[in-house]
Every structure is written in structure tokens, then in C-alpha cells.
Amino acid sequence: MTKTTSATAIAAAAQAPTEKPDAASTTPVKPRRGRPPKSATKAAAGGTEADAGTTLEPAAKRRRTYTKKAKAAESSVSLELDERVFFSNRLSAQEADTTQFVPGDEDRLMFEEARAAACLTEGGAAAEGGGTTPSTPSAVAGMVGYQVKKIRFGSYIIDSWYISPFPDEYSRHALLYICEYCLKYMKSEYTFKRHCQKCTQRHPPGDEIYRDDNVSVFEVDGRKNKIYCQNLCLIGKMYLDTKTLFYDVEPFLFYILCEYDSQGYHFAGYYSKEKRSSMGYNLSCIMILPSKQREGYGKLLIEFSYLLSKKEGVPGSPEKPLSDFGLLSYRSYWRRAIYEILLARGGATVSIDDLAGQTGMTVDDIISTLQTDGMLHRLPGSPGSYAIVADAKKTEEYVSKAREKNPRRIDPSKLRWAPFLIKATLDAAPADRRLSTSTAAAIGGTHVNVTSDNDDDDE
């Protein structure tokens, strides 16, 4: 039986509204790349568009809220800054604020005026000097900006006598601070005190070759300890007008005289000499600190230099020309050394060669001293022959006064030293042409010492 549909049922179906499909049952719309779908945004906002419009704040209200939060954050930060500890609670927040030290317009104007005045001063000095630019260290140190007047050396504050070519940043300070152990120079007292607390050096960086009671002498090589020797020369220039060597210290040996106590070896003076002098000089320059003068240290170093000359078996002499004070000191030592030998011989005959062998002095220095004292007399009837004529009473009086005035003497038995010898580079030659040890020693005589290749490993 066929099923028929009535006309009324069809009309009712045509008038009924069509139902929309359920959102859950439909396929989800694929969102665009880069932003979420609108439905997800609305759901996150807490409802439909109508609901979201009632919950979101206006833009002006949001800005006011953000401003209040920013001010609250700033106030909390300022409170945190006030409660912070600056420099172990030694400074307050106001004292630690460095913004007050920012240079202003008044400070810049003051700087420009000072710079203009300095340019005028330097221009006038250059015009007076012929407009030439100084190129040597001594000329640079002699410029208008040099201000060093005193040095703090250990526990002493010592006036400087002459200009020394310290670097420009140091030469513009009236007082320099120098460590008495490592000879490092500094600009401020604070740096000097910090250095003294940290400095571990308590003696010169060399070999102690002589010690007698509280007096010691160290031998320092200018090539191995270049910075120390350069600082030493800068200090020496402050008290030696004729000194011209400051930085080229490698060809020299330095002998440092120190006073010893429980704290270490305190610098008192020094002298230097060339490692290989073509003129036979045993001393290039000598300097005693003003705080240690008039204690016999100058004569002690002069006697020590001649002791090394006698140890080497070669007569020595100081580098010429001598300064006025140097000539007086050497004449005094030469006279005392010669007179002591004449007294020891009694009335026996003494030749100039005997004096040279016992004193370590050159023949020229001995003859010059005898002529100055009027002790050389020409023998009658013997042209070219001279005799040493000395008054025994005057000689004895002079020696006794010299011993009372300067009782310090060098004890040769306390010297621990071997002559400095430059090593020959035998390894540079081919194997078949290298010299044997005995042959190399025979070339230079009895004073040659052939060293091994490991002697310079510490350099």
C-alpha cells in the first residue's frame, strides 16, 4: 500500500522555520595564520561581544591606571635605594649619588680659561727657547710643567736637588712617593700606603755579595732587572747633576748599599759600572741618599769598587771627568790609601807599581795624588827619575784623623763574589768548529769562565 502525503502536512512543513545546526556539532573553522579566531578571542574575554563590552575598561582609564602603577614602582625603587648599603654602610645614599659631580656650564668655562692660560705659558716658553721642540728625556723634564720638589722615601721626606725625567703624569706632582724596597714611584699617598701593604719585596733583586754587621751590598744586573735599575737611575738623577743615563741600563751592573734590620734591607746608596769598559773604569756614577750622607757610605762604596778591581786583578779608576764633589771624595780616599801603605812599610822603599798592586788604583791616579801633595821629587843627576818623599809625622796625623772621622772599612774576608764574565756563544758555530772547554778557557787567560747553557734559564 502506497503512503500518501496530505496537502495540509506539506503546508505545515513549508511554514516551519529551519533550525540552525549546533555549534558543537559543526566542523571548527580553521583560523588565519598569525592571529586567533574571533570566537576564541571572545571566549577568552569572558563571553559574547555584548558581555565583553561591559567588562573591558576604556582607554583613558587604562592609561590612568598604568601611570599610577608606574609611580608606585618608582617610589618603591627610591625606597630600595635609600635602604641599600653603600661602601659597607660608610656612605649614605645622598653621599653616594654621583650626579652632583657632572660638570656644568660654569665648570666647562673654568676649564677653557685654564687651558687658554696654559697654552699662552707654553707658547711664551717655546718662544724664549727658540721655538724648538725638546726631544731628549732631560729636555722634556725641564719644561715648565715639572713640579717635583720632594720625594717620600721610606720614613723620610727628602728635597730633590735637580730635575729628573719622570713621566709627564708624575712630574706634575710636587711630592712623589717611592717604595724603598722595589723603588716604584707613585703619585698619591693612598696608593703608596696600599702598595706598602702588598709589596713583598724586602731586598734588591740581585745577589748579596757582601755583609758586615748591618751593612750589605747587592749586585744587580741591568739586563735582568731593567725596571728596578731604571727607577734607580731616575732617583740618582735627582741628586747628580752630570748624570745623563736613565733608560739604557742593560750594559751596566749596579751595586746597592743597604742597611739591614728586622723589616728588611733599606736602600742607602749605590754605584754603577760597565760590564765591559774599554777604558778600564771600575765606577760610572755613585750616589748616596741625602738622608744617609755623612755616615761614611760614600768612601765605603769607593773602597768596595777598588776591592772588586783587586779581585779581578786589573787596576781600576772612576769614569772621567769627575764632578767637583766626586774629585774631592776620590782625592781623600786616594790619599788615605797611599798613606796607609807608606806607614805600613815604615821607611822602606816603595815603588808606584807596588802601590798600584796593593790599592787597585791606576798609575795615573797615584801619580796625580802624589803630585798634588808635593811628594814626588826629581832625583838630581838622574833625568826622568823621581823619588817619593813623605813626612812621617804628617802622614801619621792624616791617617789617624781619617780613621776617627770615618771608622767604617771594608773587610775583604766577607766578600762572596766572582767577576762578571759575558758568556761566549759557542753553540752558534758548526759542530766541527766548536771550541772545547779547555781551548775556550785558554783564549781569554785565567779570568775566563765557560758557563753551561742552563745558566740563563731564569732570564
Would you call 256 helix, strand, or coil by DSSP?
Answer: strand
C-alpha cell at 47: 563571553
- Active-site amino acid positions: 319
- Map 324-352 to HEC letters: HHHHHHHHHHHHHHHHHHHHHHCCCCCCH
For residue 80, give the amino acid letter.
E
DSSP 8-state code for residue 412: G
Task: Tell how strand 207-212 and strand 215-221 pair up.
Answer: antiparallel
Q: Is the distance from CB of 237 to CB of 169 less than 8 angstroms?
A: no
- Look up residue 452 and give its three cell numbers: 753551561
Question: How far, in Å, are 78, 152, 258, 322 from residue 183 at the CA level?
Answer: 48, 11, 13, 27
DSSP string, 29-78: PPPPTTS--HHHHHHHHTSSHHHHHHHSPPHHHHHHHHHHHHHHHHHHHH
Give residues with Cβ within 8 angstroms of 57, minimum separation 6. 65
DSSP-based three-state secondary structure for 107: helix
Q: CA–CA separation, 47 vs 200, rounded Å?
A: 78
CB neighbours of 10 closer than 8 A, spacing ≥ 6?
A: none
CA distance linking residue 150 with residue 331, whole number of Å: 31
Give the 3-state secondary structure percentages of the chain, helix then strand then coil, rounded to 5: 45, 15, 40
Which residues are CB-neighbours of 407 under 8 A, at least 6 positions away?
Answer: 296
Under DSSP, is residue 446 helix (H, G, I), strand (E, B) or coil? helix
Which of helix, strand or coil describes residue 319? coil
Three-state DSSP class for residue 257: strand
What one-letter code names the amino acid at 46?
G
